[in-house]
Amino acid sequence: MTDTRMHRRGLLRTAAAATGLAAAGATGLASANAAEANPADAAPRRWKAGAATFRWFGTAGWRIDIGARTVLVDPYLSRYRTGLFDGGMNPATPLTVDTATVDAHTGRPETVLVTHSHWDHFNDVPHIATNTGARVLGTMTTYQLGLASGIPAAQLGPLKGGEVLDFGDYTVEAVGSLHSRNAGYSIGIPGVRLSPPPRPATVSDLPEGDTLAYLLTVRDGPAVFFMGASDFVARNVEGMRPDIAMVAMASSTATHDYVPRLLEALGRPAVVVPVHWDNFETPLTNPPAVAPADRERLAAMITQIRRVAPRTRIVVPDYLTGHTFA
């Protein structure tokens, strides 16, 4: 079945459609191949082997190496305890950076994409930016918190969603998105920052500050959708058609039909990588630690993906394992 509709995001693609895709090197809790083709799914593409390598940092964090160039998404590696996985988070927990771990795994990035400003997404970004000169892109709240944390204004770029930025070997489209809802239909540490606050000192000083998703399209490589939270605006992603989607696991059922609606809007990507399911207050060692309730949620998420998109390959990653998905 041929989809004759055109979408502007398709103009970012540089490789022709093909008939199959294999995810390389998948390890961890689960890995699944679809057994039968779904004629409603778009045929997956192949791309140049080695065009990009993806390494998971835990939570929603990624390192993407595109040749000699490095992009980071939500790079959080410090992983200190706040009590979140012990039944009650302490909002007065001091912000700390495990500089040795961060420096060992982030390399020399040129671009850091921040989906939102909670500590498990933004905490390590000021250290990375001030020590490497990386540009940091995110919401206005991320911009203002970056200024307050000592990142020079010349390295900060505020985004609203809808921007398509060209970096030569890759493009980045910012997508207006939503943060996850908890069981009480609310958001942890809400709020925005429209001017630089005092330098952040505790986890409560890093509010959500609106949320973005990103479509990163690698020249001669895949188009990859990155989420930092488990909700989305369907109209903003309809027709996007990424090859790979890094999909955040939901911690509640507050968002209606989250996984089925998302996969349908994205055109049932060839590869789905569940993220934000690990206990990120434990050391960065494999296999990733998972809270019992989150293990059950992850299994339910995988079941939903298989039901909605039987042709999709599911890759549940280990920490720091290189994937090319080619």
**pLDDT at 19 (0 to 100):** 27
Four-point Cα dihedral 62, 147, 164, 277, nearest 10: 30
Per DSSP, the three-state class of 19 is: coil
DSSP 93: P
User: Mean pLDDT in each 10-residue stretch from start to end of the chain (326 residues)?
Assistant: 37 33 37 36 63 97 97 98 91 97 97 98 98 98 98 98 97 93 76 93 96 96 96 93 96 88 96 97 96 94 96 96 90
Distance CA 39, CA 42 (A): 8
**pLDDT at 22 (0 to 100):** 32
**pLDDT at 40 (0 to 100):** 41
Question: Taking every pair of C-alpha atoms in the chain, what is the biggest distance, in angstroms?
Answer: 56
Alpha helices in 73-213 (DSSP H): 99-106, 119-122, 125-132, 140-148
Distance CA 96, CA 98 (A): 7
**pLDDT at 238 (0 to 100):** 94
**pLDDT at 96 (0 to 100):** 98
C-alpha 308 chain-centroid distance? 21
**pLDDT at 322 (0 to 100):** 95
Distance CA 127, CA 130 (A): 5
**pLDDT at 251 (0 to 100):** 83
Choose the CATH number for 9-315 among 3.40.228.10, 3.60.15.10, 1.10.3720.10, 3.90.550.10. 3.60.15.10
* Burial (CB count within 10 angstroms: exposed 0-12, middle 13-18, buried 19+), residue 144: buried
Distance CA 127, CA 99 (A): 8
With CA atoms as reference, report the closest residue to 57 among 74, 80, 81, 41. 74
**pLDDT at 190 (0 to 100):** 83
Is the peptide bond between 288 and the residue preceding it cis, with omega within 30 degrees of 0? no
**pLDDT at 110 (0 to 100):** 98
